[in-house]
A = this chain, B = another copy of it.
Amino acid sequence: MTPLANTPESTTTSTPARTTLADPDTPFAVVDAHTVRRNIARLKDRADRLGVTLRPHVKTAKSLGIAALLHSGTPCPVTVSTLAEAEAFADGGYPDVTYAVGIDPHKLPRVIALLRRGVALRILLDSAEQASLVAEASRRAGIPLPTQIEIDCDGHRGGLEPGDPALLAIGRVLHEAGCLDGVLTHAGESYFAHTAEEQRLAAKNERDAAVAAAERLRGAGLPVNIVSVGSTPTAHAADDLTGVTELRAGNYVFFDLVMAGLGVCRVEDIALSVVVTVIGHRPEHGWIMTDGGWMAMSRDRGTAVQPQDQGYGLVTDLAGNLVPGLVMTAASQEHGTLTARDGADLPHLPVGTRLRILPNHACATAAQHRGYHVVDGTQPADPAPAIEAFWERVTGW
């Protein structure tokens, strides 16, 4: 078993010798570090081939322990979804951070505090209102606030369309305050692109929108350093990122059943699962009851809109082997219901049997847990993989 490299001391609690997945009380989240490393290497290779910097989004794992697997000891650029993450990663030595949620001006004091600590923190906005407030805060603080303009490529949520008349005005306000740093787009609709060709087109569209916005700004004499694109599906589908400087993705570190349903990964690439215990049987309903409900899995049912609905998750044994046909089909707060699909026989799983549930949406399931019990690769024949570490998550905002 490969040792877990680059583990920051501060976030690793060493566990007693020979603790295994059979030991902690259930439910708990487990991460397979071997699978995480494979997922990370796959996208890193793609980014290298495409000639762009990879800026992983740490909002999925929110863990310095997991993030240490992203690099060889020199912290890489990261994307964050909260200032709590930005602060935790700054504390962990990450010098280059993009906060990829449109800025609430009330949060600017924390942004300025991070910049004063020497962290290259970039913020995001898509309105003249925000640009004026950022420019004003920058002047008052006597420090430029590096800012990217959010570009909308697919009507998913925020951002300006590349041709929006406001783009250049916002660019000028930011540039005059020394704050304009680039453009950023996210193809959120690619989560609903169900074929490889649709994903390739979503990636092209994402690139085209970001590059068009950058060219408009440059055409008006405004500097654009960073042209940032990305989502897990488009990052794995892009075949040409000309004009783009960096690629973002987050979910790929763990992957999940939604991504498997889109064909972006295989079920065996899913690195996050939740260990649960059988606590009862209702044979008259065809149910096996567990102690893992929505508190452990989240209420996310992302596969409900996919051709193959996976309920609250697929079921494996403790070693990670799929239990054929068994699906977690219902959840209350601390109860899960497993049922057999397509006429499969309900397996004989006595009270006390431990199972692992593969999640619909890794970002949401991970958020239900304080941290991860880490195993380093599991063997099909290993009935109780050893726990190598416990890695905490960053919580709150």
Binding site for B on A (CB under 8 A): 25-28, 59, 81-83, 101-107, 110, 125-127, 129-130, 133, 152, 155-158, 188, 277, 279-282, 285, 287, 289, 291, 294-296, 298-301, 330, 332-335, 337, 350-352, 361, 363-364, 367-370, 395-397
B residues in contact with A301, CB < 8 Å: 299
Residue of B nearest to A129 (CB): B351
The reply to whether B82 and A126 contact each other, CB–CB distance below 8 Å, is no
A130 to B282, CA, bound (A): 14
With the chains together, A130 CA to B351 CA distance in Å? 7
Residues of B within 8 A of A59 (CB): 333-334
Q: Give the complex CA separation of A83 and B24 in angstroms.
A: 13
- Other-chain contact of A25, B107, B188, B289, B367 (Cβ < 8 Å): B107
Pairs A-B, 6 closest by C-beta atoms: A299-B299, A102-B279, A104-B277, A299-B300, A129-B351, A81-B334
Chain B residues with Cβ below 8 Å from A103 are 279
User: How many copies of the chain does the oligomer comprise?
Assistant: 2
Among B82, B156, B291, which residue has its beta carbon within 8 angstroms of that of A101? B291
Cβ 8 A contact of A294, one of B82, B101, B364: B364
A82 / chain B contacts, CB cutoff of 8 Å: 334
Task: Please give me the residue from chain B that is nearest to A150 by CB atom.
Answer: B280
In the complex, what residues of B have CB within 8 A of residue A28's CB?
Answer: 397
Given A106-B25, A279-B101, residue A127 in contact with residue B334 (CB < 8 A): no
A291 touches B104 (CB 8 A): yes
Partner pick for A295 among B279, B299, B367, CB 8 A cutoff: B367
Partner of A299, one of B104, B157, B334, B364: B364
A106→B350 contact, CB < 8 A: no
- Whether B280 pairs with A106 at a CB distance below 8 angstroms is no
Residues of B with C-beta under 8 A to A83? 25
Contact B129–A26 (Cβ < 8 Å): no
**Closest chain B residue to A298, Cβ basis:** B299
A335–B157 touching, CB < 8 Å: yes
8 sampled A-B residue pairs with Cβ under 8 A = A59-B334, A101-B291, A101-B334, A102-B280, A125-B280, A157-B287, A294-B300, A299-B361
8 Å CB contact of A102 from B110, B289, B330: B289
Across the interface, A104 reaches (CB within 8 A) one of B26, B285, B298, namely: B26
Closest B residue to A60 by CB, please name it: B333
Highest count of chain B CB atoms <10 Å: which of A103, A110, A282, A301 = A282
Question: A82's closest neighbor in chain B, by CB?
Answer: B334
Closest B residue to A290 by beta carbon equals B104
Selected contact of A352 from candidates B105, B126, B330, B352, CB within 8 Å? B105
Q: A363 to B157, Cβ gap below 8 A?
A: no
In the complex, the answer to whether A155 meets B102 with C-beta atoms within 8 Å is: no
B279–A158 CB distance below 8 A: yes
- In the bound complex, residues from chain B placing their C-beta under 8 Å from that of A106 are 25-26, 277, 352
Does the CB pair A333–B279 fall under 8 Å? no
